[in-house]
Structures are given as C-alpha cells and as structure tokens.
Amino acid sequence: MFTLFNNKCHESDPRISNVAVERRTPCDRIIISNWEQKHSAVLPDDLRNFYNSTDGFQLTWHYKYSADEILPVGSIRINSLNELYLTPALKDLLDFSLTRQTSGPRPILNTKSKVFELDLCRNIGKVCLIYTGGSWSVWLVTRDGAWGWLADSFTHYFRMSLVHLGLPGWQALFANLPLIPWAEQLFLLLAPHLLEKPECENSLVAVNNETGLNHIDPNIFKTSARHHKNTSRPAVNQ
C-alpha cells in the first residue's frame, strides 16, 4: 500500500474522491532497446528507469460539486512506451505551429530532432518529449500553434504534474496561457498558492522548493515482476 498524494487539501477536503492509480507491469529491457533502435534515440536515464519500473502511468481523481454531481477532474498520465511516438495528431500540430509567427519560446528542431507525445494536455494541446542531439526536454504545443517550455527532464515534468495535482490544463501556467475558467476555479478552491508562482523561467526552482506538497514514494516503481503477477491494482490510501 502507498500514499501518492500527501497534500493537505486532499486529506481535508471530503469532496475529493475516487483517487485511483493504475498499476502497470514494467517494460522488458529488450522492449526498451527495440524502441530505441526503432526511433534512433537513446532514452534518458530517468525515463528508462521509469519504463523499467512501469509501462506508463495513470492517476485520476474526482470532485464532488454537489450532492448529485461527482465529476472526473484530476488526471496525471504518462503514455506507455508503445504510445511514445510521433502520432498523426501531434505531427499535424507541429506542422501547424511552424506556420505561426510567435514571439515566445520555441524548440530548435532540425532533421535529427525527434518529437514524441508524452501526454495529452486536455483542452489545450499536447505535451511533447523532444530529443535534439542527445539532449531531452519537455514542451507544450498548443492547438493554436504556440509553444511553452515545461522542463529540462522527464523527472522535473513528472514532479510538476504531482505538485499541480493533475488539475486540468495546469501546463498553461508555464506557457503564458490563460487557464480554462472552470479549471481556474478549481485552482482557487484546492490549491490557490499554485497561482502565485514566479516567472516561468524560474518554474523548476519553484517546483524543487515545493516542500510539504506532493511527493511520490519511489518504492512504488520498484515492484517485482512476481508481485505484478499476483495483483494488477494495489490499494490506494486517500
């Protein structure tokens, strides 16, 4: 058993319910090696260790708006290794973004660059894992063709997801985009301090300094293959 979130708002707010973590079996090293050969890209150590422990990640939780209305709200997802590729939808977004004249940050892409879909940013765009000559970074590309830099490593991005509770469209906070109105209301209800962040270029410092918020127990990614055969979904403490 483990507790993924220890944020006080989750512990004290009875309106948050149905916190569920999907447990997945680890990727075999041969499968990871085949993926790297297929895409001509060597996974960064932290992401390789992640897939060595679990083939993707999915956490969801619901919010009780009224006595009769409980809706899915929070979601943290990392695509499985098989889903980590340049999807047609992502390629269309990237092609469209190249036609847009924007003054904001933009990744430097060339013929050797690799772009993979790491996650779907609900109602905004796609979260991309970008490989450029041995260097990896995480970006948001929006449906309007704008770019937003998120993190310089998978580990940083994953921690940012936890700190922001998987709230809808939290990535917009780091891309100088407005939050979806109803999502902003959720931030104000559950985590108003997250709206008082520093400038985007200092976001990683802010995330690293967020003590006492959301911490993931690293032992959840160290489950043996034997344990996976015995159970497919562990108990979750809410």
Tell me if 93 is assigned to some domain: yes
pLDDT at site 161: 92
pLDDT at site 201: 42
Tell me if 231 is assigned to some domain: no
Tell me if 111 is assigned to some domain: yes
The parent domain of residue 80 ranges over 1-182
Tell me if 232 is assigned to some domain: no
Tell me if 159 is assigned to some domain: yes
The pTM score is 0.78
Phi, psi of 124 (to 5 degrees): -125, -50
Q: What is the CATH number of the domain that holds 142?
A: 3.40.1580.10
pLDDT at site 92: 95
Q: In what order do the strands lie in the sheet with 114-121?
A: 114-121, 125-132, 135-142, 147-151
Tell me if 22 is assigned to some domain: yes
pLDDT at site 11: 55
pLDDT at site 16: 85
Tell me if 31 is assigned to some domain: yes
Tell me if 105 is assigned to some domain: yes
Question: What's the burial of 83, exposed, middle or buried (CB within 10 Å: 0-12/13-18/19+)?
Answer: middle
Contact call for residues 175 and 203 (beta carbons, < 8 A): no
Structurally, the chain folds into a number of domains equal to 1
The span from the CA of 62 to the CA of 44, in Å, is 33
Mean pLDDT per 10-residue run, the chain (238 residues)? Answer: 44 79 93 95 94 95 86 92 95 91 81 91 89 89 90 94 90 81 84 69 42 44 46 40
